[in-house]
Structure 1
Amino acid sequence: MSKNTEMIKKRKAESTVFKQAYEQEQMKLDLADLVFELREQSGLNQTDFAKRVNKSRSTIARIESAVMEPSISTLEDIAKALNKHVEINIVDRRQKV
């Protein structure tokens, strides 16, 4: 385990505020990674992907860089453009590692 990972784990255990902020940022990063991976799998650059999704290239870039959190409707637009659908699960926190 890296020094940073150890520090994060310690801070999360010590501070509820830090833990919540960390988890919120982690979710943004996970969504950014997901959209990037979907775009890469489709073989499209940001401009062509944005056209397919009917969004601007800058919107796709902001989502992929985790500057912007996509709305559920934007995620649905992305999924529809790739012939996929969105599934959302709410799970017990204890299940998340």
Structure 2
Amino acid sequence: MPKPTLVLAAGLLALPVLTPGEAVAQKRIPKLPGYDECPLGYVNDLKQHCNSPIYYEVKPTNGKPCDSGWMNIGAGYCKKKELGIF
């Protein structure tokens, strides 16, 4: 049986991997409250998520304008611009 300190250390090392940051590259994102559609580049799965064949780095707008280097893709999300374009 592994030592408790070893298990705790492994859990602490895995924690950053298990908790995504504010913006992460995602192929599947949840529909945000108040939105029935999906953002640009995503397809509605007719449930509570939107899917994309491409990994985009997205983050919720939280009702605010997108930060510099990000573009609004609708449905409450911003997407990180790549190479200064979309």
- Structure with greater helix share of residues: 1
TM-score interval (norm. to shorter): 0.3 to 0.5
Indicate the structure (1 or 2) with the bigger Cα radius of gyration.
2
TM-score (norm 1): 0.32
Indicate the structure whose relative CO is greater, using CA pairs within 8 Å and at least 6 residues apart. 2
- Structure with greater strand share of residues: 2
